[in-house]
Amino acid sequence: MLKENLQELHQQTTPFYVYDMNLLRQTLQTAKKEADKYDYHVHYAFKANVNAPILSEVLKNGFGADCVSGNEIKAAIENGFSPEDVVFAGVGKSDAEINFALDQNIFCFNCESSHELEILNELAEKKNKTARIALRINPNVNANTHKYITTGLEENKFGINSWEIDNVLELLQTLKHIELIGIHFHIGSQITDLTVFKNLCTRVNEFQEWFTSHNIKLQHLNVGGGLGVDYYHPEENAIPDFAAYFGLFNQFLELRPGQQVHFELGRSLVAQSGTLISKVLYIKKGITTNFAILDAGMTELIRPALYQSYHKIENLTSDKAAVKYDVVGPICESSDCFGKAVELPETNRGDLVALRTAGAYGEVMASNYNLREKAKALYI
Ligand SMILES: Cc1ncc(COP(=O)(O)O)c(C=O)c1O
Ligand SMILES: N[C@@H](CCCC[NH3+])C(=O)O
């Protein structure tokens, strides 16, 4: 898609994001088709990308919204999502955010601590409302991913640990403005080893047994998101294997009659459709490799600096013999590096460079450090 549209790419001010809307549509349609096979409900994790044209495609394909802030709920509603399809997660919901979500009558709050439940109950009581909640349980399942994006281990701040659930249930009986409708799990992001999700199913089944033995009926199980994408082969594996992913839950999750299963996918739906395009400013001699200095940096795409994560780098405008470069940005930080000893066709000032698989957690994590301007987005 990128090379076919070089002329249009050349006309833009760099750096900028470009989105392949055909790929986005195909990805969303595939996910929806595979989820529908089992009547699964998917809420799109807004945190991955909140650009209006992207949200519009997500909405058209019948996904709900998984939000982690009042502003994300606002964005969901402004972009046409129905409040009944909005879930609100997060360990630190502010009173103002909770009040806003209560006013909107959202579908469900995913609650992460006893203290949060008490405050939610108080705020709901003031409005004479009842808040529907799912308890986010920390299942202590290792997601085999980067430690900064692992969320389901007991040492993580997320969810209610298993040994606290007894107390939480006792508390819930006293909270008259809260209705427990489900349980929620999310063990981490960029998970490529599907056996991890099988382990999650085993834990969810155990928790279900426990709730059943306490005569508690749960209308839904929310198993979160986390399905990873192939950062190394964005062309060959442009669409994640949703069939295997949903099929695995269908095989291993034990449901009670009438129970719904909810998912919160972010990255797998949008990552491959986005690319950060940058121009080469300078080539500079290094000790072992040369530096290719781009006009995009960690302010546009922070993932490599933050998690040492890999994004495939391509020179779109050179087909000369390969040379190795440390590909870096202009920001005053040594971590502002997209890749070391990256093999690229011989690169010169003015070449266009693509940083692939940047549609998720790219633009949304941008900053204006060094007073950088926000990169624009182009939709092709
Ligand atoms: C609670 C919750 N749900 C859903 C997601 C979306 O995850 P992913 O983009 O990996 O699908 C996240 C992010 O990791 C999350 O924290
Ligand atoms: N921001 C992370 C993912 C975190 C997902 C939210 N819990 C990334 O870029 O990979």
CATH number for the domain including 174?
3.20.20.10
Asked if residue 239 has its Cβ within 6 Å of ligand 1, the reply is no
Q: How far apart are CA 238 and CA 30, in angstroms?
A: 12
This complex has an ipTM of 0.98
Count of Cβ atoms closer than 10 Å to residue 12 Cβ: 17
239 shares a domain with 327: no
Domain span at residue 61 reads 21-271
Residue numbers in the known binding site for substrate are: 267, 303, 307, 333, 361
245 shares a domain with 230: yes
The two tokens of residue 169 are 């249930």
Q: 52, 45 in Cβ contact below 8 A?
A: no
Residue numbers in the known binding site are: 226, 264-267, 303, 307, 333, 361
200 shares a domain with 263: yes
The two tokens of residue 337 are 């590096």
320 shares a domain with 230: no
Distance of CA 354 from the midpoint of ligand 1 (Å): 25
The two tokens of residue 196 are 């991890």
Choose the final residue of a domain: 271, 305, 320: 271
Residue nearest to atom 1 of ligand 1 (CA): 186
38 shares a domain with 179: yes
Cα atoms in the Cβ-side hemisphere of radius 13 Å centred on 36: 9
296 shares a domain with 202: no
300 shares a domain with 264: no
**What are the mean pLDDT values of the chain's consecutive 10-residue runs (380 residues total)?**
94 98 98 98 98 98 98 98 97 97 98 96 98 94 76 78 92 97 96 95 95 94 98 98 98 97 98 98 92 98 97 97 98 97 98 98 98 98
**Residue 365's domain is classified under what CATH number?**
2.40.37.10
Selection from 278, 269, 277, 294 nearest residue 361 by Cα? 269
248 shares a domain with 289: no
Q: Residue 143: what pLDDT?
A: 76
Residue nearest to atom 1 of ligand 2 (CA): 361
Q: Which residues are CB-neighbours of 171 under 8 A, at least 6 positions away?
A: 114, 117, 118
Q: Residue 282: what pLDDT?
A: 98
Asked if residue 218 has its Cβ within 6 Å of ligand 1, the reply is no
Helix H segments across the chain? 6-10, 21-36, 52-60, 70-78, 95-103, 114-126, 165-174, 195-213, 242-252, 267-270, 303-307
Residue numbers in the known binding site for pyridoxal 5'-phosphate are: 226, 264-267, 361
321 shares a domain with 232: no
How many domains is the chain built from? Answer: 2
Q: How far apart are CA 112 and CA 91, in angstroms?
A: 6
The two tokens of residue 30 are 């595939």
Residue nearest to atom 5 of ligand 1 (CA): 225
236 shares a domain with 289: no
293 shares a domain with 155: no
Choose the final residue of a domain: 239, 271, 303: 271
Beta-sheet strands, E only, within the chain: 16-19, 41-45, 64-67, 86-88, 108-111, 131-138, 160-161, 178-184, 220-222, 260-265, 274-284, 290-294, 313-315, 322-328, 337-345, 352-355, 376-379
Choose the final residue of a domain: 222, 251, 271: 271
Asked if residue 303 has its Cβ within 6 Å of ligand 2, the reply is yes
276 shares a domain with 248: no
Residue at token pair 């010169």: 348
pTM: 0.97
